[in-house]
Amino acid sequence: MPTSPTPLPADDPRPLTIVRQARKAFMTSGYASTRMEPIAREAGVSTATLYTWFPSKADLFQAVIFDAADDFERHMKTVFATGGGARERLTTFMVAYARFMGDPFVRSVFRLVMAERPRFRDVAMDFFERGRSDFGGPLMMALKALNDSGELKIDKLSWAAGQLMGMVEHPVFFMPLVTGDEVTAARTIQQIVDDAVETFLARYGVDQG
């Protein structure tokens, strides 16, 4: 299976409409139980038109996952910490990140990819690799700027970024991913982020006094 699908045309909205309808179907029913005909009907196209763009269910599933990854990438590009000191900048970044990772839709996509990983190994691995880059890249840029300004002292930026992200990911993403969306953290997102940033600054912060 190729590692990337054929780009959807910008001048014809129908393929994207099909992909978005397929996303709902795959998330609701899983890969095995999803059928192409209802997707075509919900997208307002004929089954023949659907197969013109996506010759098989596997092709459509791949397009759904890559489209979801594109959505994540667009979102994460907007999550940059700007202005203020280290505490303010990291808090701004991590609150946005926590809200994104705490979105039930994001967890649904990860569950879908994990469930179908044995069948679509290359697609799943590409999805996770893109996620690591899209999520960690902006944070590492912010940490480098704070490190260069002397507000933080970090030897390994990637390790530090992983530690900060992990303190937020565990309660807002991984716990609900394992236990179900109905289980929510006792702390608010703001409290989770405040605790994580406080712990991070205790380890890497530089006393400016």
Domain ranges of the chain: 7-55, 64-204
Alpha helices (H) in 14-151, listed in sequence order? 14-33, 36-43, 47-53, 57-77, 86-101, 104-115, 121-148
**Among 63, 69, 71, CA closest to 39:** 63
Domain covering 7-55 in this structure, CATH number: 1.10.10.60
Give dist(CA 32, CA 160) in Å, integer. Answer: 40
Domain covering 64-204 in this structure, CATH number: 1.10.357.10
* Residue whose structure tokens are 């979801």: 68
Predicted structure pTM score: 0.74
pLDDT of residue 27: 85
∠ CA 100-149-91, rounded to 5°: 25
pLDDT of residue 74: 78
Residues lower than pLDDT 50 in the chain? 1-3
